Structure 1
Amino acid sequence: MTITDIARLSGVGVSTVSRVLNNHPDVKAETREKVLNIIKEYSYVPNNSARILKQTNTKNVGILVKGVFNPFFSAMLKDISIRVEDAGYTMILHHHDNSNDLDTLIGFIKEKKLQGVICLGGNFLDIKEESLEGVEAAVVLLSVSIQSQKNYDTFSTISIANDEAAYEATHYLIRNGHKNIALLLGEKHDFGIGKLRYKGYKKALEDHKIPLKEENVIYGEYDVATAYGVTKDFLSQHKEVTALFAISDMMAVGAAKAAIDLGFSIGGTISIMGFDGMDVAKYYNPTIATVKQPREEMSRMSVELLLGLMNGSAKNQHIVLDVELLEGKSTRTI
């Protein structure tokens, strides 16, 4: 007999059973009675080891980062680490490149005896209400991919609307006269953020009656050198392309260098659009137009929410923040 069985027999969610077991006040009296009757009928004995661990462990907060190096995450990590340490917690950082992000998260929490964890990146498409059953640590998924923004109350999310942001970037290029627009994605089998940004690009083309050319979609693996190589190969064979939208600023820099080496002029014979709002886009010459994510706000909110969840002053939330399209000199009207 598990907490999931109790929830099923009671006709309530796993989180409701958990609140009853922890004697939380925000449960209706009749619901509480129903759950307690099921517990009594089936002689269910809750496993207190996780709660005991939470009461006796050190003040450890984990930061789980998907990928070995991501400049956008690195910048966020600096903001987050300062805030976590200022709050008196010890930060434990773990980079990973495993395919099963959920298992990696749960293993990280248990191994390091964490009170809370912030996930930077990763695909949590299959996460469900009961996925974190028995995990007592507070969890904030930051800039990750989940299937929907349902109000799950066993974890929190902070993100942007990636499809809408990519739509706006593509729409901006189309509005400036571009119809032959290449898309530089990250990894070919990215079913999370990359897929959402592809969706936005595709919809913008459809809304403007521009045929989608799959040969215009290339992959730079979120790496400057790789983006340079694939863009150089692509543009050498597709000189008719007038604009390229890279879904990260670092890939946009690699693409711009490739275009220049082939004789294109950035903001002249080809337009380049990036994504993230990194400083590299602002200081590149010419400045690269980009979609700016609210990095500092995301970092601040993730730590504040995590601390609130750990001390009981906050409940799980699912927050979607706005982005800003920054015009640069890397694009032109044709």
Structure 2
Amino acid sequence: MTIRHVAERAGVSVATVSKVLNDRYGVAAATVDRVREVIEELGYESSLVARSLRNHRTNVIGVLVWDIEPFSAELLKGAAGAIRGTDYELVVYAGGGKGSGRLGWERRYLSRLSGTLIDGAVMVTPTVLDVDSGSPVVAVDPHSGRETVPTVDADNLQGGRIATDHLIGLGHRRIGFLGRPPRDLESGPLREAGYRAALADAGIPVDPQLVRAAGYDESDVRNAVHDLLSLPERPTAIFAANDVSAISTMEVAMAMGLRVPGDLSVIGFDNVPESMMTEPALTTVEQPIQLMGRLAVEMLLEMLAGREPAQRHVRLPTRLVTRASCAPLPGGPGLPDLADDARLPVQPRS
């Protein structure tokens, strides 16, 4: 359906339809009503590219992600909420985890969209921030930390401490950590740093055998978990740096004949909806993912309006959400030997 079809159906010129679409003067009210009625009837929508060429704006915000997975899906909910009541629309651009390489994906995505399809972008977990798109950009949970680009992230260091402190408080001393490769997100090393700091504060030495890094393939995570649980002196608890890895950890443990949490306590990080649906339900550290998405879009809207955001770097707090995947270590230091079906109370989400 083109603008010419609208003009023919309404019995006016293409130029008149163009004036109506762009709210220009010189068209009688009755004609405007007739053209808009035909536009509605035919379902006509002008091309974003054409709109950009005419007005140098599309009123579209892009959310750029490497892949659609639980974290980015939750973040999109917050981003969508932020544009309600505005003149902006949202487009999500994802490579589906494919491409010639993960590093630098945001440059490729921005080059395809900026200047024609979007007015600005929110980049989710970008690998680099030295992007020159000519359009405003906000980064969520960047790999390289804060730079000139405005950022939104969570207090990953404190979150790592919270998770590890919880396991230590349950009497666990052999606590495994399942993280990401060092080249990955800044949040991964920060969560590991929190894990190490909590152990140090408790006087527990870090056993290098209990610290494992896994890639993005599920098979990498499962192999790392299997190796951890096959150690002669296996961990009694594992802190996985994200909920997806924590869920895989529980699945591998149970496939190996271990009970969660009877034989192994597991804690994750993120609090994505899937964490509540596991059996047992996953104890995790919550970062406010939807709020992160909403704040990132709100910052971008401020920039698109020509204003400086009140804060260029926003760091949000994390909190513990206790469910059923962690339990006191039977016979642990200063703790009673609880029954196999002992469970911790569920902490409701606020």
TM-score of Structure 1 vs Structure 2, range by shorter chain: 0.7 to 0.9
| 1:236/1:262 contact within 8 Å kept | no
- Count of matched residue positions in the alignment of Structure 1 and Structure 2: 272
Following the alignment from structure 1 to structure 2, what is the Cα–Cα distance between the partners of residues 72 and 261? 26
Q: Aligned partner of 1:95: which letter?
A: A
Q: Aligned partner of 1:282: which letter?
A: M
Give 1:78 deviation, angstroms. 3.6
| 1:54/1:137 contact within 8 Å kept | no
Q: Structure 2, unaligned stretches of length 5 or more?
A: 1-51, 96-100, 330-350
- Alignment correspondent of 2:241: 247
- Alignment correspondent of 1:20: none
| 1:109/1:117 contact within 8 Å kept | no
| 2:266/2:325 contact within 8 Å kept | yes
Give 1:74 deviation, angstroms. 1.7
- Alignment correspondent of 2:340: none
Give 1:327 deviation, angstroms. 1.0
Q: Secondary structure of 1:291's partner? A: strand
Q: What whole-Å deviation, never above 9, does each CA across 1:3-39 have from its counterpart, x for those lacking one?
A: xxxxxxxxxxxxxxxxxxxxxxxxxxxxxxxxxxxxx
- Alignment correspondent of 1:324: 319
Give 1:170 deviation, angstroms. 1.0
Q: 1:144 aligns with which of 142, 146, 150?
A: 142
More helix by share: 1
Q: 1:199 aligns with which of 180, 193, 204?
A: 193
- Identity within the alignment, %: 25
- Alignment correspondent of 2:56: 56
- Alignment correspondent of 1:212: 206
| 1:85/1:91 contact within 8 Å kept | no
| 2:114/2:134 contact within 8 Å kept | no
User: Using a 3 Å threshold, how does the CA distance of structure 1 residues 314 and 218 change in structure 2: closer, same or farther?
Assistant: same
- Alignment correspondent of 2:118: 114
Q: TM-score, normalised by structure 1?
A: 0.72
User: Using a 3 Å threshold, how does the CA distance of structure 1 residues 56 and 313 change in structure 2: closer, same or farther?
Assistant: same
Give 1:102 deviation, angstroms. 6.1
Q: Secondary structure of 1:58's partner? A: coil
| Within-5 A mapping of 1:88-99 | 88-96=87-95, 98-99=102-103
| Within-5 A mapping of 1:103-182 | 103-104=107-108, 107-108=111-112, 110=114, 112=116, 114-124=118-128, 127=129, 131=130, 135-148=133-146, 152=148, 155-182=149-176
Give 1:57 deviation, angstroms. 3.0
Give 1:238 deviation, angstroms. 4.3
Give 1:188 deviation, angstroms. 5.3
Give 1:146 deviation, angstroms. 3.4
Q: Aligned partner of 1:56: which letter?
A: H
Q: Secondary structure of 1:199's partner? A: helix
Following the alignment from structure 1 to structure 2, what is the Cα–Cα distance between the partners of residues 157 and 306? 10
| 2:253/2:259 contact within 8 Å kept | yes
User: Using a 3 Å threshold, how does the CA distance of structure 1 residues 296 and 136 change in structure 2: closer, same or farther?
Assistant: same
Following the alignment from structure 1 to structure 2, what is the Cα–Cα distance between the partners of residues 81 and 194? 26
Q: 2:328 aligns with which of 317, 326, 333?
A: 333
- Alignment correspondent of 2:12: none
Q: Aligned partner of 1:87: which letter?
A: T
Q: Secondary structure of 1:233's partner? A: helix
User: Using a 3 Å threshold, how does the CA distance of structure 1 residues 313 and 54 change in structure 2: closer, same or farther?
Assistant: farther
| Coordinate RMSD, CA, aligned | 2.7
Segment drifting more, 163-172 vs 236-245: 236-245
Give 1:277 deviation, angstroms. 0.5
User: Using a 3 Å threshold, how does the CA distance of structure 1 residues 279 and 102 change in structure 2: closer, same or farther?
Assistant: closer
Q: Does 1:77 align with 2:71?
A: no
| 1:116/1:139 contact within 8 Å kept | yes
- Rg bigger for which structure? 2
| 1:53/1:113 contact within 8 Å kept | no
Q: Secondary structure of 1:237's partner? A: coil
Q: Aligned partner of 1:324: which letter?
A: R
| Within-5 A mapping of 1:14-93 | 56-66=56-66, 68-81=67-80, 83-84=82-83, 87-93=86-92
| 1:123/1:192 contact within 8 Å kept | no
| 2:153/2:315 contact within 8 Å kept | yes
Q: 1:100 aligns with which of 91, 99, 104?
A: 104
Give 1:212 deviation, angstroms. 1.5
Q: Secondary structure of 1:244's partner? A: strand
Segment drifting more, 176-185 vs 105-114: 105-114
Following the alignment from structure 1 to structure 2, what is the Cα–Cα distance between the partners of residues 259 and 145? 30
Following the alignment from structure 2 to structure 1, what is the Cα–Cα distance between the partners of residues 103 and 269? 24
